[in-house]
Structure 1
Amino acid sequence: MSTTPAPSTRDRILDAATELFYAHGIRAVSADKIIERAGITKVTFYRHFRTKDTLVVAYLERQAARERGLLDELRASAGDDGALRRFAATVGTEACKPGFRGCSFINAAAEYAEPGSEVRKVVAEHRTWYRQTFAAMASGLGVADAEQAAEELMMLRDGAMLSGYLDDPDHVGSALERAIFAVIDASQAASSPA
């Protein structure tokens, strides 16, 4: 009989923060609300996270690791073409879930206007990783100017996340897939000799 180990106190704090930050916004959620949701004391909270901003950074780093793991797994199992298709479908599926509020990183950047803040640094690092990954995928699909294609794919991803939150999410995945492959196909055609 296998049992799943109980989450660590740090993970319980991060779980509570993730749920509350995503549902209500980072600035609207106090440390006290997180402490209450996690069922811990203030001393325990501050032993793990000396400030709320430290917790926000950990929350975003954890979310970044999840997103990176998902896309890396898709690439390993389906190749770049299949991974882009599955990525679009995943964004569409997420956008249709109750409580979807768009991209955690875009939301955090909107709440932390200071470009030099630790929160914005984590956001910038994650966005850089996405661009580099999209460039590698585009290059693998024969796109000569992979960096330009990556910028366009990043804009499409951002737009899909916002559209899924603000508009009817039912068609986000299929629209994102069509747009991604319009960029890839146009870039492949532009790089082919006439």
Structure 2
Amino acid sequence: MAATDLNPRDRILNVAGELFHRHGYGAVTVDDIIAALKVPPATFHRYFNSKEELGVAWLERLNRRMVSMHRSFMEKLGAPETRLKKYFYAMAGWLEQSGYRSCQFANTRACLNDSAEEMVELIDQYKRYQLKFFIELVRGIVGEKDAQKIGTAVFLLFSGAMTEAQNLKAKWPIDDALQCSEELCQLHSRQAVAV
């Protein structure tokens, strides 16, 4: 479906999402979005009363898409011991393609104050989901006993690596985080077998 075939609300969400990802939520104004849409201001305001209302709708949609992507990823990736590497490689590829603009949730949270409660809550929900995703991702490697601890460590390694890859415009933080994550999982999978 071409962008012009979308209903106006979805088109606004698409254009705003691209601008938020490229420039950061805090740097984009409603006027920037209206200019990129090439529509009268009334068209924007028919669907969204404020930038924050748009931000909530955008984060809700982004959350649904990311959860769907993670579920699909887990279903398609075969053996548990290969999933970690495949996930890191997939995200490194996406990071390079996006010009090293990292996690849209983390980038958005960095420019929000706590008064944007609904947006802050949506970001928190997604990050909690992402943590659970990493716990599930490593469970097949390290076993049930260590899944929470190791999954949390891998989540933190991944999150930090994504941030530094964005800061440095380089892929090596992802590569190094993957290596550390794999070594951590191998160490704990050997301990699980030894017990």
Same fold (TM over 0.5): yes
Distance (whole Å) between structure 2 residues aligned to residue 182 and residue 62 of structure 1: 35
What is the TM-score of this pair, normalised by structure 2? Answer: 0.86
Task: Name 2:156's counterpart in structure 1.
Answer: 155
The answer to whether structure 1 residue 170 and structure 2 residue 171 are counterparts is yes
The answer to whether structure 1 residue 146 and structure 2 residue 147 are counterparts is yes
CA shift digits 1:97-122 (9 cap, x unpaired): 35322211111111113177111101
Instruction: Please state whether the residue corresponding to 2:97 is helix, strand or coil.
Output: coil
1:94 deviation in Å? 2.2
1:34 deviation in Å? 0.6
- Bigger fraction of residues in helix: 2
1:148 deviation in Å? 1.4
The answer to whether structure 1 residue 38 and structure 2 residue 37 are counterparts is yes
The answer to whether structure 1 residue 187 and structure 2 residue 188 are counterparts is yes
The answer to whether the 8 A contact 1:35-1:42 is kept is yes
Task: Name 1:54's counterpart in structure 2.
Answer: 53
AA of the residue aligned to 1:37: A
Does the C-alpha gap of structure 1 residues 184 and 169 become closer, same or farther in structure 2, counting only changes over 3 Å? same
What are the equivalent positions in structure 2 for 1:1-194 lying under 5 Å apart?
6-79=5-78, 80-97=80-97, 99-114=99-114, 117-143=117-143, 144-194=145-195
Unaligned stretches of 5+ residues in structure 1: none
Distance (whole Å) between structure 1 residues aligned to residue 74 and residue 115 of structure 2: 31
The answer to whether the 8 A contact 1:93-1:173 is kept is no
1:138 deviation in Å? 2.1
CA shift digits 1:38-58 (9 cap, x unpaired): 222222212222221111122
What is the alpha-carbon root mean square deviation over aligned residues? 2.3
The answer to whether the 8 A contact 2:26-2:108 is kept is no
1:65 deviation in Å? 2.5
Distance (whole Å) between structure 2 residues aligned to residue 91 and residue 187 of structure 1: 24
Unaligned stretches of 5+ residues in structure 2: none
Distance (whole Å) between structure 2 residues aligned to residue 183 and residue 48 of structure 1: 48
Does the C-alpha gap of structure 1 residues 87 and 32 become closer, same or farther in structure 2, counting only changes over 3 Å? same
Distance (whole Å) between structure 2 residues aligned to residue 192 and residue 105 of structure 1: 37
1:173 deviation in Å? 4.3
Distance (whole Å) between structure 2 residues aligned to residue 32 and residue 99 of structure 1: 24
